[in-house]
Amino acid sequence: MCYTGWMSRFTERIPQGSLLFAPMEGITDEPYRLAIQEAFPEWNYLSTDFLRLPSQGQYSDKKILEHFGHHCYSNQVLKKKTGYQILTTAHANTAPHIQRIEELGFDHLDINLGCPSKKVNSHKGGAYLLDDLTSLQKVIRDIRSNFTGLFTAKIRIGYRDDSKFLDILKLLEDEGVEAVTLHGRTRDQLYEGIADWSYIKKAVNSLSIPLIGNGDCWSLLDIERMFDETGCHGIMLGRGALKTPWMATIYEEHRDRLFAVNEESLLFERKGYLDYYFHLLERNYRKRDLDDDQLLRRFKAFSRYLFDDYENSESIRSQFLRSRTLNEFKEKLSCLK
């Protein structure tokens, strides 16, 4: 099959200059994504975290649909705005799952090739595949030959080092992957140091498919710098999106004059955004019958980077993380300026 004629369907869906909310396990489930979409619809694109395909047996349709979320599935706007991420290996039962995902009408699959988890890598999945290009090719073929929809890959610059970086990119493009998201670290670097954006520029120059840059974008200035320095098609934010979930909103508002924006001056708006964010999160998780304790655990997970911009951020964060009840958490939120 030839996919070159379809390349524009990625750009149609995710235009040049887009900001994407990164897939994050334990965070970006359906209620969370619905809250983000309602509060901050300026994010151009969202993603599920990864569904790990099994080595044996077949997931039910119910499981496949639940991972994406029934509401997202039946809402055409949300469906077009959300990627379905999977994680698989050369010995997993990939083809039948991909066929079912296609039959169910999903039209964007993203493969996770960046996960650094020891457990996932020991089963030869995630970033492991960046070191074993024979297996990588098999996995990509298993998917591409069974899926006619948009197919993208999310990678790091390598497993132990960057020695296979250009070969990985070439393999992905040659095998029909339609866009790549690149986190500028190796697997062994985990989250150490700062992501190296020069690899994003190298990838932009060596690929003819779109490249989404990722890694250590924490501010409007970082976004502007990543676009300028690398020429990437779009930018994906993970921890930066958890720190400032309204980043795409303020980016949209100021994108034509970012050079003149004093980010400090935008901080006065954050309390309103924070209140709205938690209000929608609570409403959406209550609809899923989460009780106070479950909700408190979720709120704490969302708080890891959320207070980084405050003076005394360490002490504020630890106060929130020490809350024993949901009411205590909410009281602290109401006292925050």
Ligand X SMILES: Cc1cc2nc3c(=O)[nH]c(=O)nc-3n(C[C@H](O)[C@H](O)[C@H](O)COP(=O)(O)O)c2cc1C
Enumerate binding residues for ligand X (CB under 6 A).
22-27, 49-50, 85, 112, 114, 154, 183, 195, 214-217, 237-240
Write down the least CB distance from residue 242 to ligand X, Å.
Answer: 7
- Based on CB atoms, which residue is closest to ligand X, 176 or 240? 240
Q: Is 253 left (phi over 0), alpha (psi -120 to 50) or beta?
A: alpha
Write down the least CB distance from residue 211 to ligand X, Å.
Answer: 14
Nearest to 121 by CA among 52, 172, 57: 52
Annotation marks residue 2 as catalytic: no
Write down the least CB distance from residue 185 to ligand X, Å.
Answer: 8
Write down the least CB distance from residue 1 to ligand X, Å.
Answer: 26
- Based on CB atoms, which residue is closest to ligand X, 24 or 328? 24
Question: Inter-axis angle of helices 326-335 and 270-287, to 10 degrees?
Answer: 160
From residue 87, how far is each of 144, 169, 218 by CA, in Å?
A: 14, 18, 27
Buried b (16+ CB within 10 A) or exposed e, 75-102: eeebbebbbbbbbbbbebbbeebbebbe
In the bound state, the residue with its beta carbon closest to ligand X is: 238
Cα 126 to its chain centre, rounded Å, is 14
Catalytic residue among 2, 72, 115, 335: 115
Distance CA(309)–CA(313), nearest Å, equals: 7
Distance CA(22)–CA(30), nearest Å, equals: 14
- Based on CB atoms, which residue is closest to ligand X, 123 or 312? 123
Write down the least CB distance from residue 337 to ligand X, Å.
Answer: 26
Nearest to 2 by CA among 175, 211, 179, 207: 175
Question: Inter-axis angle of helices 292-302 and 313-321, to 10 degrees?
Answer: 160
The angle at the Cα of 7, spanning 204 to 178, to the nearest 5 degrees, equals: 60
Q: Which residues are catalytic?
A: 115
